[in-house]
Amino acid sequence: MSIATPVRLSVRGLAKTYRTKTGDVPVIADLTFDVHVGEVACIVGPSGIGKTTLLKCLTGLQPMSAGVAEIDGVAIDGPPEEMALVFQEYTRSLMPWLTVAKNVRLPLRHLHLPVAEREERITAALAAVGLSGAEAKYPWQLSGGMQQRVAIARAIAYRPEVLVMDEPFASVDAQTRFELEDLCLRIREQFGMTILIVTHDIDEAVYLSDQVIVLGERPARVTEVIEIDFGGPRDQLRTRALAEFAELRTRIFGLIRKAG
Ligand SMILES: Nc1ncnc2c1ncn2[C@@H]1O[C@H](COP(=O)(O)OP(=O)(O)OP(=O)(O)O)[C@@H](O)[C@H]1O
């Protein structure tokens, strides 16, 4: 990412300690990183290091204990309207009694858009995820991969500044995961979205990311930020991307093993 590209999400000295009945549990000590406009950043690290906790702090679901996170220079203080979230458990995030179109329409209701623009956004989002024609179907009539596409369509119809995803492709089969990863790259191109992903899958992180943010130590810190410049679009170039970045993969695996 060029230096001239503005910072969209800035995290400075973020710390998080959970207060429990049995005492304080310091989970995150000090996280500092930037994600630039239109960038895909993946957060990786050993199990239990605090990746989901970080996303909870950034999306206002948990208060930070220290530090600041900003979107376009404005401090996050509660659930930010500029963000949309996609979870691993798509079955829990979609309303089974609403059609696909109504599920995608749901978060648009409080934007008070003109009806034509609202419907245009729904059509464009479903087209972007390859689900044109599925508007009248119910989530339970769709495969797991298709349901996750609906969840992604709902997020992109909202047109957030930052799309945050927690293990978004972990519950689908390998082939569907590849398709959803490519979809993610296309969304970035088409909508210019900044995307922050937590993933356990190092190949996925290397394939998708402009930067991989590695968390380590306990309580967690950023132990390494690995910039990845593929020198062109990655979509459809999976084999080449993974071969070229085998060294990076090995390095990230090593860092995570050391931290875990
Ligand atoms: N509400 C809570 N109260 C107290 N401790 C919590 C709470 N939520 C999470 N934790 C603890 O914080 C630590 C980090 O959890 P978190 O889910 O953020 O890790 P993670 O890196 O996302 O893990 P995984 O990779 O296994 O999904 C864990 O030790 C967990 O038990």
Of 14, 16, 18, the one to substitute when testing ligand 1's pocket (max ligand atoms within 8 A of C-beta) is: 18
DSSP tag of 80: -
Q: Are residues 56 and 69 in the same domain?
A: yes
Q: What is the pLDDT of residue 257?
A: 85
Q: Are residues 146 and 177 in the same domain?
A: no
Question: Of 142, 159, 176, which marks where a domain is finished?
Answer: 159
User: For residue 88, is it within any domain?
Assistant: no
Domain region containing 142: 94-159
User: For residue 59, is it within any domain?
Assistant: yes
The interface predicted TM-score (ipTM) is 0.98
Q: Are residues 114 and 209 in the same domain?
A: no
Question: Of 139, 159, 179, which marks where a domain is finished?
Answer: 159
Q: Are residues 145 and 216 in the same domain?
A: no
Q: What is the pLDDT of residue 106?
A: 94
Q: Are residues 170 and 249 in the same domain?
A: yes
Q: What is the pLDDT of residue 132?
A: 96
At 59-99, the pLDDT tens digits run 999 999 999 999 999 999 888 899 999 988 877 789 999 99
Q: Are residues 185 and 247 in the same domain?
A: yes
Q: What is the pLDDT of residue 126?
A: 96
How many helical (H) and strand (E) elements, i.e. helices and strands, does the chain have? 9, 10
User: For residue 2, is it within any domain?
Assistant: no
Q: Are residues 180 and 254 in the same domain?
A: yes
In the structure encoding, which two tokens stand for residue 59, read together? 């999306």
User: For residue 136, is it within any domain?
Assistant: yes
The pairing of beta strand 211-216 with beta strand 40-44: parallel
Residue nearest to atom 18 of ligand 1 (CA): 50
Q: Are residues 77 and 178 in the same domain?
A: yes
Residue 168 CA to chain centroid, in angstroms? 7
Residue nearest to atom 14 of ligand 1 (CA): 50
Q: What is the pLDDT of residue 238?
A: 65
Q: Are residues 231 and 109 in the same domain?
A: no
Question: Which residues in the chain come in under a pLDDT of 50?
Answer: none
Question: Of 159, 193, 215, which marks where a domain is finished?
Answer: 159
Q: Are residues 140 and 254 in the same domain?
A: no
Ligand 1 centroid, distance to 50 Cα (angstroms): 5
CB 234 within 8 A of CB 205: no
Give the residue among 157, 165, 164 at the shortest CA–CA distance from 129: 157
In the structure encoding, which two tokens stand for residue 230, read together? 């593929």
Q: What is the pLDDT of residue 241?
A: 62
Ligand 1 binding residues, C-beta < 6 A: 18, 20, 25, 27, 45, 47-53
Q: Are residues 200 and 234 in the same domain?
A: yes
Q: Which ligand 1 atom sits closest to the C-alpha of 56?
A: 18
Number of folded domains that form the chain: 2
Query: What are phi and psi for residue 222, nearest 5 degrees?
Result: -80, 115
Q: Are residues 68 and 172 in the same domain?
A: yes
Ligand 1 centroid, distance to 51 Cα (angstroms): 8
